[in-house]
Structure 1
Amino acid sequence: MERLNTVIQTIASRKTKQRSPLCAYVYDLEGLRAHTASLSAPLPPSVQLFYAVKANADEHILKTVAPHVTGFEVASGGELQKVRRLFSDAPVIFGGPGKTDEELIAALEARVALIHIESLWELQRLSWIAAERQTTARVLLRVNLRQAASGATLHMAGKPTQFGIDERHIAEAIYIALALPSVDLQGFHFHSMSNHTDEQAHLSFIETCLSFVAQAEKTYRRPFSVVNVGGGVGIHYSDPDRPFHWDWFAKELNLLLRRHASRHWTVIFELGRLITAHSGYYAAEVLDLKNNYGTYFAILRGGTHHLRLPAAWKMNHPFLIIPVNEWPYPFDRPSLFNERVTLAGELCTPNDVLARDVPCARLRVGDIVLFRCAGAYGWDISHHDFLSHPHPEFIYLEPST
């Protein structure tokens, strides 16, 4: 709560210094630093924590989390370049579907630690590229498991998706990988869901992954060294103060690994949302209030071109209101009291909605809506230049702020 108050004070202070409508992302780097350290600290020695750059590739974010993670997971050549510009020697894992030849070459030249293989074709292509360069690519096969954990917002496994290799075809992939001289099969990748908030169910998912690798070692009579359980650990957008109980999860994970993991395995997490979501905020000033056919709308200086996630997931993004008491106009201030309001953006589309039919005790033109949990999959996944509106400011809260 102390960090949230600091953010609110920063926004309120910033607004007093400008007449133009306020629109800004605020990243609490001090809070992010402490939070990332708290995620790394309780993990067992055999577990490595990588940061999934896709969640937020802001340079300040990358620099802040770097001391507290093993390395970075990237999903494109562009993300790889961003990481390597900042960290020449940090361990990097390269994942994602649809890798081009150029990206695979760049991954080898950047000395990535592991490459996730998404298909048999990609496996053969990588081997050919590595052989041409007289090197060996260390790889994990991404498995689209038959059985995926329930309770996540999105699922990439357990059903037909474009991700990974169907579990029924994994045997063929393993045989091919083991026969290719320029590929070193280290193990398996199991990223199966996004925004999973059930601690016990996620432990069960990890147990499924461990069992898969144990059975693979028996079947193919050879050891594997890496069990990458991906990311997917989520947050409660409907109740942002409700935590994912990470300390309990890490304690239970330690017990689970003692029971089911081989000593020669390294278990990898690729976390993004859980690391950065709570340390980012999106602030948008109310430009207008109106009632159309019995529904109140607040039009914001901003919208889904800055924060696409609520529209993509068809959810109400959590928010609070920062009151701004100054009123520069010589006529009455449009205001609402104890009404349900839809928070819409400035775009020319009815899909530009950040929260729909939500209760507001008081909302006035000139007040600022502060959206919480906007530090992951916010700015990075949004269509910034639609209608060519100005980009938001970016405000970074350092310890000295």
Structure 2
Amino acid sequence: MNRPTYLYDLDALGTHAAAIRAALPSRVELLYAMKANPAPELLRTLAPHVDGFEAASAGELHHLTRTLPGVRPAVLGGPGKTDPELTAGLAAGVHRFHVESPHELRRLSALATAAGSTADVLLRVNLPVNLDGAALVMGGAPTPFGMDPEQARDCVRLDLPGIRIHGVHAHLASGLTAPAAAMVARRIVDWAVSQLGAHEVNIGGGMAVDYTDPANIFDWTRYGGDLQTLLAEHPDLVLRIEPGRAVTAYCGWYLTEVIDVKRSHDEWFVVVAGGTHHLRTPAAKGHSQPFLHLPRTDWTHPYPRPRTGDGPVTIVGQLCTPKDVLARTVGTNTVSAGDVIAFAMAGAYAWNISHHDFLMHEPPSFTVGNLKELADV
């Protein structure tokens, strides 16, 4: 390999997205939260399977319209939206604005009125829901995301010009199992309908992705069944979800070559090209990234080839920090310099959240295909 490579399996992504869509009731609109991975080839692959996209900034919004000309972005969300970002959303004709605060709603009203347009809004609400077991919490406690329930009630009573409020958006947590996600959905819907008379509810994403067991995939069939039961109780309700990680994580691989193998204080270290400045996921979430070890036999150098001995290994990158760890004390077969490590589940929150410029290493390459077809392996 010349340098680390991201490999996106678009066939697998399309199959996975189609299965998600098939598991959901027809009355559930499926949006893709493009913050998880905005790679153009992924957006184009997902477009036939989703009802729209969630952009969390003007940058994402512009990227989406460049990648998919003519697409009407479904929603513009994200905390701390500036006036230029709100204006960009109005100019793009976004389907819904997810408004984070009363002040943001007033600013949007002024901008929409000045532009002679109307902004269609869902109020992002931080509801007091028990979120025990969630991997990441954005609601149910003091957070910078969304507004308190009483503030949402006040927003509805404002009756601002240039604003149409349709209902509620509530993305409260990530890492939820199907039963937990369904429970959260019910709590959100019940509150939105009973307290605000909402006609639309976006219950967010946050479906669990298990990096310790890649085969343990979120139970979309059970979740879809629970949402069907919920919708039967609210026959006029529009329900939306906006998963990101759970859609694209499985389609991506990060492949890199072993540069060195060494023993330090009775522990084996495998040093690979690249590192967490390319794939930040394991450092951000504090886990070992699942991987495949792909041995290579084409060693032609005149010096000995280092290889691991007995015991677990820790796989690290090229950065000048002990935090540059991709997998810690994991069991594997003997690893030799020149072998390839293929890190799985690298299709979401990977390259796009990484600190690319630290040490100014060369960026990875990007390609599409599947692992068996990659010519260098």
TM-score for the superposition, normalised by structure 1? 0.89
Whether the 8 Å CA contact 1:338–1:359 is kept in 2: the answer is no
Task: Give the equivalent residue in structure 2 for 1:174.
Answer: 156
Letter in 2 for 1:99: K
TM-aligned CA deviation for residue 331 of structure 1: 2.3
Structure 2 match to 1:212: 191
Which residue does the alignment assign to 1:257?
A: 231
Report Cα offsets for 1:257-291 as digits up to 9, x if no partner: 213xx222110011111110000011111111122
Q: Identify the residue that residue 383 of structure 1 maps to in structure 2.
A: 355
Give 2:164's match in structure 1, choosing from 174, 184, 195: 184
Corresponding residue SS for 1:288: strand
Q: Which amino acid aligns with 1:376?
A: A
Q: Equivalent residue of 2:312, what SS?
A: strand
Q: Which consecutive unaligned segments of at least 5 residues does structure 2 have? A: none
Q: Which of 37, 40, 47 is 1:59 aligned to? A: 40
Where do 1:350-365 residues align within 5 Å? Answer: 350-365=322-337
The residue number in structure 2 matching 1:327 is 299
The equivalent position to 2:113 in structure 1, one of 121, 131, 144, is 131
Local SS of the residue matching 2:333: strand
CA distance in 1, matches of 2:220, 2:241: 13
Please provide the CA RMSD for this pair: 1.4
TM-score, reference length from structure 2: 0.95
CA distances 1:40-63 after superposition (whole Å, capped 9, x unpaired): 123212210001110110000000
| Gaps in structure 1 of 5+ consecutive residues | 1-14, 218-222
Cα distance in 1 for partners of 2:132, 2:178 equals 11
Contact 2:72 2:93 in 1 (8 A): no
**Residue equivalent to 2:264:** 292
1:106 aligns with 88
**Residues paired across the two proteins, number:** 370
Aligned to 2:212: 238
2:247 paired residue among 267, 275, 280: 275
* Aligned counterpart for 1:117 among listed residues 87, 95, 99: 99
Distance 2:192 2:293 in 1: 49
Matched with 2:308 is 336
Asked if 1:47 is matched to 2:28, the reply is: yes
Specify which of 6, 31, 37 is matched with residue 18 of structure 2.
37
> Which runs of at least 4 in structure 1 moved beyond 6 Å after TM superposition?
none
Deviation string for 1:85-136 (max 9, x for gaps)? 1232334200000111100000000000000011111111000100101111
Find 2:144's aligned residue among 131, 155, 162.
162
More strand by share: 1
Question: Displacement, 1:351?
Answer: 1.1
Rounded to whole Å, the distance in 2 between the matches of 1:337 and 1:71 is 50
Q: Identity across aligned pairs (percent)?
A: 42
CA distance in 2, matches of 1:268, 1:75: 16
Contact 1:149–1:202 (Cα < 8 Å) also in 2 = no
Aligned equivalent of 1:195? 175
**Cα drift, residue 148 of structure 1:** 4.2
- Please say if 1:80 is aligned against 2:52: no
Measure the CA separation in 2 of the matches of 1:279 and 1:138.
34
